[in-house]
Structure 1
Amino acid sequence: MLTVSKVLRCSLAAFRYNQERNLSNAGKAALRPVTLKGRSFLTLRDFNPDEIKHIMCVSADLKQRIKHEGQYLPLLQGKSIGMIFEKRSTRTRLSTETGFSLLGGHPCFLTPQDIHLGVNESTRDTARVLSGLVDIVLARVYHHSTLEQLDQEASVPIINGLSELYHPIQILADLLTLQEHYGSLNGLTVTWIGDGNNVLHSLMMSLAKLGINLRVATPKGYEPVADVVKEAERLAKQFGTELQFSSDPVEAARGSNVLVTDTWVSMGQEEEKKKRLQDFHGYQITMQTGSVAAPDWTFLHCLPRKPEEVDDEVFYSPRSLVFTEAENRKWTIMGLMVCLLTDYSSQIRLNF
């Protein structure tokens, strides 16, 4: 059952968004103050364009002030985060731990040996216990339903560190990376070449809201989940963007600004590796793939990367933004945590 405070927060957010959209439709200039304090972050499906932009602005602000200006901003001093990891991680763990510490807070890392959700203690009980011990929880889990149950029972914000359905914190880093590189996001075309997985699902729940076109090329049998496709089609129609699906990676890449892929064999799919490699034959991103893309095309990959997904020539080329993308995992998770725990207002306004 949702807590009363969460119901009120969600209702208020929906009211504000509808009110702002109505003002915009009426041709009136409207100030759009955004507050995400106390919200959970399970999927970008739940966040409107202004809220996503707000997170990105705060992230860019922190990166500028801390990295480039050397400021110390203890915005999370006295606060702690519980980090539940059912799956191993490099970028998610390090970005969250170092980011939370850099902001003055205390991260607590919980491995499967430390906490067995639903085994040694029910997920319901764990959520309630953690709510009394930490200020926010990030969970990297196998099943998205685990996150939903944590969120239902917790009285603190829950962040999705990855589930089999969505990987929203990765997309925040991708968006900031593209905004930094291109200077604006509206009108870009992104092409996904690979598996219809959690990263793609999160792209589908966010790009249209920022005016970005999306093309998807997956082998037959590896398409994204039907429910996500239906919602993405609705979003594309609502925001007037292009959304295309095919099984031809070259055609999908034609004229695109950004080529994106991910692992073909995720954790838990090791037994399927041989078949998957066969099914994804022809989906490797190479300079030949890029030859049909836009002249300014770039490449993204959330890492870790395997050579069969993208060759070295592309991966280590100036067109590859993967290492900036990896670093931005830190600044965007910091921005997100600040948004969910404080009323911090960004001093930077990005061009979208």
Structure 2
Amino acid sequence: MSLHRLRGRHLLWLADYSGEEIRHMVELTLEMKRRYYAGERVIPVLRGRSVGLLFEKPSTRTRISLEVAVAQLGGHTVYMTPSETQLGRGETVADTARVLSRYLDAIVARVKSHKTLEEMARHASIPVINGLSDLTHPLQAIADMATILEKKGRLKGVKLAFVGDGADNVLHSLLLAGSKLGLHITVATPPQIRPDERILSIALKVAEESGGSVEIVSDPYEAVSGADVVYTDVWVSMGQESMAEEKVRLLKPYQVNAKLMEAAGGRAIFMHCLPAKRGQEVTDEVIDGPWSAVWDQAENRLHAHKAVLSLLVP
């Protein structure tokens, strides 16, 4: 595959990328990690490049791993919030995108609404990369697929059980990536909290073509039976505080605890994109226990960001 065809592209969601392209990002993530531990702390493919980080939401992993990733690629980051730019005083997203395109080589935006990303991409002449939206979190999914490949030695045929909030933005990206890479994904969620129908429709169609599968069930024990990976995320995401009580009530039976992990079988690993609400969607004995791949997963965000940026930034 020619790497040049990725150069300069937006990354708003993984529906725009082929399975081959996603696989290349995943494999490059692990190559970046290998080179890092072999002593290549700087791979200067972004020397002289500047990447803007425009964040409407707070962050630990995304912000820090992006800043370090760009530095390890020899580039420079500019961190911005709406209150620190004219966006906070009413300048349009379109005008902001036009101006930032004259200063920067790429924009990574962490936004409240996916529509903001779409508007930015329409008017930017540089790559716009989704650092999280209410709909998807593609950078997380690239790191997650790399973690699964690292731990299991394969992606095609891996059974991934997601237990919890079916409308979760990370789940949406796992569905898009996993279906293109031939995973078998089972989502255990209450009937009231299903994945976005557009994303589910794409994932179901693509899974048929890749040899994977996508299934939605209500029983978490059914979902995890024979799973290679058990994955969960917080039940109440940023901006959902008004519905917290109702979501916690619905999702209480979907806690990932030792009993559920034992039901998955001996080969299962546990994954969580973090931050975790310990005692809610996951117990300490799981996230800190022998099943947990969470800390390797978190580290792989750094290497995934290096892979994606090195491919997309012109």
> Shared fold (TM-score greater than 0.5)?
yes
Equivalent residues of 2:93, 2:116 under 8 A apart: yes
Equivalent residue of 1:320, what SS? coil
Query: Letter of the aligned partner of 2:11 in structure 1?
Result: F
Deviation digits for residues 72-98 of structure 1 (CA, Å, limit 9, x no counterpart):
321111000111000000000001011
Aligned partners of 1:78, 1:282: CA distance in 2, in Å? 51
Question: Whose Rg is larger?
Answer: 1
Using the TM superposition, give the Cα deviation of residue 68 of structure 1 relative to its aligned residue in structure 2, in angstroms: 2.8
Equivalent residues of 1:195, 1:264 under 8 A apart: yes
Deviation digits for residues 10-36 of structure 1 (CA, Å, limit 9, x no counterpart):
xxxxxxxxxxxxxxxxxxxxxx33431
Equivalent residues of 1:34, 1:54 under 8 A apart: no
Residue of structure 1 equivalent to 2:247: 276
Query: Letter of the aligned partner of 1:282 in structure 2?
Result: P
Deviation digits for residues 249-300 of structure 1 (CA, Å, limit 9, x no counterpart):
1111111110000010011111222221111111100121122213210000
Equivalent residues of 2:109, 2:117 under 8 A apart: yes
Using the TM superposition, give the Cα deviation of residue 319 of structure 1 relative to its aligned residue in structure 2, in angstroms: 1.2
Aligned partners of 1:119, 1:83: CA distance in 2, in Å? 19
Residue of structure 2 equivalent to 1:155: 125
Query: Letter of the aligned partner of 2:175 in structure 1?
Result: M
Aligned partners of 1:261, 1:203: CA distance in 2, in Å? 11
User: Normalized against structure 2, the TM-score is what?
Assistant: 0.96
Over the aligned positions, Cα root-mean-square deviation in angstroms equals: 1.3
Query: Letter of the aligned partner of 2:293 in structure 1?
Result: L
Using the TM superposition, give the Cα deviation of residue 212 of structure 1 relative to its aligned residue in structure 2, in angstroms: 0.7
1:122-161 correspondence to structure 2 within 5 Å: 122-161=92-131
1:42-191 correspondence to structure 2 within 5 Å: 42-115=12-85, 117=87, 119-191=89-161
Equivalent residue pairs, number: 311
Deviation digits for residues 119-166 of structure 1 (CA, Å, limit 9, x no counterpart):
531111000000000000000001111101111100000000000110
Aligned partners of 1:203, 1:228: CA distance in 2, in Å? 10
- Percent identity between matched residues is 41
Query: Letter of the aligned partner of 1:33 in structure 2?
Result: S
Residue from 263, 282, 290 that aligns with 1:318: 290
1:169-248 correspondence to structure 2 within 5 Å: 169-196=139-166, 197-248=168-219
Aligned partners of 1:281, 1:193: CA distance in 2, in Å? 11
Equivalent residues of 1:34, 1:51 under 8 A apart: no
Larger helix percent: 2
Using the TM superposition, give the Cα deviation of residue 116 of structure 1 relative to its aligned residue in structure 2, in angstroms: 5.3
Residue of structure 2 equivalent to 1:18: none
Deviation digits for residues 213-235 of structure 1 (CA, Å, limit 9, x no counterpart):
00001112111111111111111
Aligned partners of 2:114, 2:39: CA distance in 1, in Å? 38
1:251 aligns to 2:197 (yes or no): no
1:294 aligns to 2:265 (yes or no): yes
